[in-house]
A and B are shown apart, each in its own frame.
Chain A
């Protein structure tokens, strides 16, 4: 059991080029910036990783903005108003 586990972790650390390229091309398919391009024109792994970082930062910003927006909306909803009742009913 312990033998198998150690083998597994060592195989994960020794990643082959093929595995690396597989993982990076999976990421590529998620990126709006380069997803639309044809499969035939290849992109460098470095470019994919750069775009991945940019995309995660963009999504983080969006979540930040939406959080602020939601907190404003929650504030604007009065405790006794019908909107508050709607929010409460959403919880049920």
Chain B
């Protein structure tokens, strides 16, 4: 009797667990699309962690080594040196996108950039279907604004400021990779994540420059053995 009641719950539990797994996996696959409405703070805090910077630095060094192998001996003649700098920049950005693990639109856009030419037509079609004219509806909903107590530090929107805000969001969308044709909430969410990723990128690259230049200066005057 006892064994019977023991078996039954465990089997249903297994089924439930399976179901939960499938639900959570589909939820995470479209989390970035839905993130605009939820606005999670934790994923952004990720970029501030030392661990994330270490992960990025390792990927960056790997990418730099690749650049070095692919374009050897640039003798500081301006065109090749410029090309090299650009290659480093692209490698650094790709490493950043990989560190983001494809959770955001901007990182997926950077990774897709390499094959953009090939699939440009296809991509544009898809982008146009996802583009949503978001801000046009804000005006109508503002008439029924509730007066809730909020801890925000931004002025309320009014009809006069709306066109300027709209325009600036569009400009912002062009600065964040892959967000040129996204809706307003998506652009704002992505920008929030992207800025913190960029800050981390600058920190990591800075410390790498410092490390390398400390070696190259000490190397110019080798210590006597």
Contacts and interface: CB of A to CB of B under 8 A. Distances in A.
B195 interface: yes
A68 B188 CA distance: 30
B188 A53 contact: no
B154 A73 contact: no
A66 B209 contact: yes
Contacts of B74: 71, 75
Interface string A39-79: 11111111011101101110110111011111111111100
A49 to B, nearest CB: 4
Question: What band does the interface of chain A fall in when counting residues whose beta carbon is under 8 Å from B?
Answer: 35 or more
Main secondary structure of the interface of A (DSSP, over half): helix
Interface in A2-34: 5, 8-9, 11-28, 30
A21 to B, nearest CB: 5
B209 A12 contact: no
B154 A77 contact: no
A90 B154 contact: no
A33 to B, nearest CB: 12
Nearest to B139: A17
A52 B214 CA distance: 34
Given A23-B185, A63-B198, A53 B64 contact: no
Contact of A57 (B64, B157, B175, B191): B175
A56 B177 CA distance: 11
B121 interface: no
Interface of A: 5, 8-9, 11-28, 30, 39-46, 48-50, 52-53, 55-57, 59-60, 62-64, 66-77, 81-83, 86-87, 90-91
**The 5 residue pairs across chains A and B that have the minimum distance between CB atoms:** A49-B168, A67-B89, A23-B188, A13-B132, A68-B85
Given A16-B138, A46-B165, 18 more contacts: A14-B134, A14-B137, A15-B137, A17-B142, A21-B157, A22-B39, A23-B36, A44-B154, A44-B155, A49-B171, A56-B172, A56-B175, A56-B198, A67-B88, A68-B81, A71-B84, A86-B215, A91-B62
